[in-house]
Amino acid sequence: MITSADFLPLLPEIFLLSATCALLLTDLFISPSRRGLVHFLALAILAVTAILTLRGVPGVDLPVRVLSGSFQRDGAGDLLKLFAYLATALTFVYARPYLKDRGLFKGEFYLLVLFALLGMMLMMSAGTLIVAYLGLELLALSSYALVALDRDNRRATEAAVKYFVLGALASGMLLYGLSMLYGATGTVDIARLYEAASALQGEDRTLLLFGVVFVVVGIGFKFGAAPFHMWLPDVYQGAPTAMTLFIGSAPKLAALGLAYRLFDNAVGGIDMNWQVTLAWLAALSLVLGNLIAIMQTNLKRMLAYSTVSHVGFLFLGLANGTPEGYAAAALYAICYALMATGSFAAIILLARQGFEAEEISDYRGLFRTHPWFALMILLLMFSLAGVPPLFGFWAKLAVISAAIDAGLLWLAILALVFAVIGAFYYLRVVKVMFFDPPSDDVRIEPQADVQLRWVFSANALAMLVLGLFWSPLMEMCLRAFGAA
């Protein structure tokens, strides 16, 4: 029997849903000149949701399962949620001046992002296959609408159509895989599915393994892993930068949460083939992502292929298949979310009406005209490349160590080789900023958003601070995933 106590673990989700619906109604009665109120209300909603998540469940020890097991609240989900809130808050701060300059500063942006965040939270706390899929689709549908928000932009519209078509295909594959898991085990409950799958023999076990393959394909698409990355470059380049910033950061945390629920809680340990599959996906992502990124001259497209390579690194942790491996993957996902928000914010910082600052050549001589921001971008590029002692180095070290612990020495060596190769295209951006002659287009408007400047600087400096003091965050990840 469901009681009111069953809804206490869902308090952050319930509040976010209620507050977003209230914000939707509020936006109807706010004049365009006072649209900034929606911005601050959205940030306040995120702050309250974070507080509710940090408070835990009064009088109840985590983990806890409620609503007949369809929702589970635990340390892993809460940790990923908190950093998803942070990435979303950074998105709001960075996107505001960009949207204002292009006539896109509308309540729909904030509402779609908050609904997408709600979908991510459901993915991170799913207790059944149905809830996991509902969360995934809420995130996906909101993301499609975000990419197409600028209806007068032909590139954005084309990107949204590609995203929708390929996303629908991937969702269908994932749903087909989940239906196979249900058909083989007779349950959608993730905890019961593990128990039922352990006893399967013959044709039922074969059906289960086919289902796992389709689940891996669906999750590979959501991460943007090769060879399921075909949507990523066109969507990242075609979408307005503010939208690219969001879909390129926080959803990676949600995809990790979904992968953890399905691979560890549902099919973990039943058959090791899914870990071998993840290892080969990681290898393919590392090779294709880094080699193709070298050839790019468009910064957004370069960052898109860079994302493919970073997904390869993240899969090193997932392929480990132990709590330590999931903790390393979580650290990498957190690191990448922060690096991605900062990298796309650098584009927004230099962009202005009629100049999108998307080409690498657009950053020529930035050190001579704006030395502080050139140094901040350098920190972000070096962290993405994995240069010590920045945060990206320790995140890469954690997942490579997880691959070695899993007996995947060949994959760890491949990751090291392509980490060195991948450093080339990040250093190219640094070379353009510090050693090329400045261009007249390279300037930051004096009236540029002050909040954007300060938050961007803090975001970049965090790569250095977290690099120097990364151990506490790693310990948090280990505790959250039950490895400590």
- pLDDT tens string, the chain, 484 residues long: the values are 667 777 888 999 999 999 999 999 998 888 877 888 999 999 999 999 999 999 877 767 778 888 888 899 998 999 999 999 999 999 999 999 899 888 888 889 999 999 999 999 999 999 899 999 999 999 999 999 999 988 888 888 899 999 999 888 888 999 998 898 888 888 888 888 877 777 777 677 788 888 888 888 888 888 888 888 888 899 999 899 999 999 999 999 999 998 898 887 666 655 556 778 888 999 999 999 999 999 999 999 999 999 999 999 999 999 888 889 999 999 999 999 999 999 999 999 888 777 778 889 889 888 988 899 999 999 999 999 999 999 999 999 999 999 999 889 999 999 999 999 999 999 999 999 999 888 766 666 655 578 889 999 999 999 999 999 999 999 999 999 886 6
The number of beta carbons lying within 10 Å of the beta carbon of residue 172 is: 12
Query: What is the C-alpha separation between 111 and 20, in angstroms, rounded?
Result: 6
pLDDT computed for residue 484 by the predictor: 61
- The dihedrals phi and psi of 439, each to the nearest 5 degrees, come to -110, 155
Tokens matching residue 58: 């009064």
pLDDT computed for residue 267 by the predictor: 66
Three-class SS of 139-164: HHHHHHHHHCCCCCCHHHHHHHHHHH
Query: What is the C-alpha separation between 60 and 71, in angstroms, rounded?
Result: 15
Helices (H) and strands (E) in the chain, counts: 20, 2
pLDDT computed for residue 268 by the predictor: 60
pLDDT computed for residue 23 by the predictor: 94
